[in-house]
Structure 1
Amino acid sequence: MMELKALMALAVLSFAYGEIRPEKKILPFASRTYSSRFSGDVKEILKIPPAPMPGFNLLPWLGPWFYQYHKAPCSWAMSEEFTDFTHIMELEGTNVILQDTMRSRGLCNSVTSILSVTGPGEFLGKDLVGINWSGPLIVVATDYKSFSVDWGCTKMSVFDNRCEDPYVYINTRQRKPSARVLRRIEMALRDVWGISVRQLTKILHGRPCSSGRKKIG
């Protein structure tokens, strides 16, 4: 009888979370751990391009976003030090204009980039400075109203469909997202890559860079 109850409980967990292996436990958000195969370098995990989210809709994705977590590309490693990092996206013709604003070493700066649409949820980005992060960008997951998970690559491999310098940015509509939004982000990262926000760099937000900005791009 006890064995039957244990099998029924396992079946319920498998239905809710997918395949459950004995060594992989599903824990609450605050203490969830991941399989040992994801304990290495996150950059290695991100080198395989993800699929864009199904049914992506461009228009509700536009507007202001706050960067909350990221793994920066090597070509823009200095962004690991940014605070008050935000962006606004606007449609201009067939392109999306991306205006990033950030505080770096006490000074607020802005960088303008252009995203050319290459498919639903897929873009080819070009920063006007030309040395930061130009390359493909994919919207991996978003609900449009609260969060967006974006993957990009600054240098694709010449040998196979892999990225030699990938990055990922986690954006939210609110400067201070709720616990519910953070749980949804955590689930999205787990489902796509098996990683956690705790493996990414947290971006701090203080006084917004809403005035006195120095444009560098």
Structure 2
Amino acid sequence: MTLKALIVLAVLTYTNSQLQIGQNPHPGNVKERLKTPPLPMPGFNLQAWSGRWFFQYHKAPCSWAISEKFSDYTQFTELHGNVALYHETMRNHDLCNSVTSSLRITGPGVFIGNDPVGDNWSGKVIVVDTDYKTYCITWGCTKWSAFYNTCEDPWIYIKTRQMNPHRGVLRRIEMALYKLWGISINQLTRITHGRPCSAAGKLAY
């Protein structure tokens, strides 16, 4: 490796190590940055990804703007053949609601979602990044452009295995968001957790 390449690598390493949670390295419209479809998680493991998740941050699609008001938003994912079932609960106006939706598996980390309450978020769903044990970043598209391979109404959800994730987990998420789209956690909507709901005992703990 040449000296020039070593210098570039050192600069990149230093920059990444200095990135802090909540920084905004590339100000701008988050939705515009999310319009380009990302690649799915390499070597995606469906079984390791299933189970309980807590929603922590998101940028909702325009069709599902009501979700900006959700709190205590949780999910239990289980597999049935070529379908992944999302058992979700959320608190809205201090009332708990639950819904089960299905995602048809079309490839490793790639799904076609079916929203049972009005197609608010139906469409392509991609698991972009996860370590299976602490966090998961999911991208989706509810409306594709008629002229280009871009999404007119994209969304992302950041989920963790723990209701109150460790700061180190949040830092890893921040790094992933920066590398994927050049965005920061503080550009997304924070989902608060206080009194978790439950869905048939699946989310109880």
TM superposition score normalised by structure 2: 0.89
Matched ranges for 1:179-190 at <5 A: 179-190=167-178
Alpha-carbon displacement from aligned partner over 1:36-58 (angstroms, at most 9, x marks no partner): xx311100110110011111110
CA distance in 1: counterparts of 2:85 and 2:174, whole angstroms: 28
CA distance in 1: counterparts of 2:47 and 2:102, whole angstroms: 16
Q: 1:204 aligned to 2:195?
A: no
* Structure 1 counterpart of 2:30, one-letter code: V
**Contact 2:56 2:192 (8 Å CA) reproduced:** yes
Aligned residue in 1 for 2:154: 166
Q: CA deviation at 1:32?
A: 3.9
Give structure 2 stretches of 5+ with no counterpart.
Answer: none
Q: CA deviation at 1:172?
A: 0.1
The correspondence for 1:107, drawn from 86, 95, 108, is 95
The alignment-based identity, stated in percent, is: 56
The correspondence for 1:14, drawn from 11, 15, 28, is 11
Residues paired across the two proteins, number: 198
- Which one has a bigger Cα radius of gyration? 1
**Contact 2:21 2:171 (8 Å CA) reproduced:** no
* Structure 2 counterpart of 1:16, one-letter code: T
Q: CA deviation at 1:27?
A: 3.1
CA distance in 2: counterparts of 1:85 and 1:94, whole angstroms: 25
Q: CA deviation at 1:132?
A: 1.6
CA distance in 2: counterparts of 1:157 and 1:203, whole angstroms: 29
Counterparts in 2 of 1:53 and 1:106: CA distance versus 1, 3 Å: same
Alpha-carbon displacement from aligned partner over 1:172-197 (angstroms, at most 9, x marks no partner): 00000001100110111011101110
CA distance in 1: counterparts of 2:182 and 2:27, whole angstroms: 10
TM superposition score normalised by structure 1: 0.85
Secondary structure at 2:18 match in 1: coil
Secondary structure at 1:188 match in 2: helix
Q: CA deviation at 1:130?
A: 2.8
**Contact 1:27 1:33 (8 Å CA) reproduced:** no
The correspondence for 1:29, drawn from 13, 20, 28, is 20
CA distance in 2: counterparts of 1:188 and 1:46, whole angstroms: 14
Alpha-carbon displacement from aligned partner over 1:13-50 (angstroms, at most 9, x marks no partner): 23626xx7xxxx9734146441xxx3111001101100
The correspondence for 2:164, drawn from 161, 176, 179, is 176
CA distance in 1: counterparts of 2:52 and 2:116, whole angstroms: 20
Q: CA deviation at 1:93?
A: 2.1
CA distance in 2: counterparts of 1:26 and 1:212, whole angstroms: 43
Aligned residue in 2 for 1:116: 104
The correspondence for 1:76, drawn from 44, 50, 64, is 64
Give structure 1 stretches of 5+ with no counterpart.
Answer: 1-6
* Structure 2 counterpart of 1:150, one-letter code: T
**Contact 2:142 2:153 (8 Å CA) reproduced:** yes
Q: CA deviation at 1:9?
A: 9.0
Q: CA deviation at 1:129?
A: 1.7
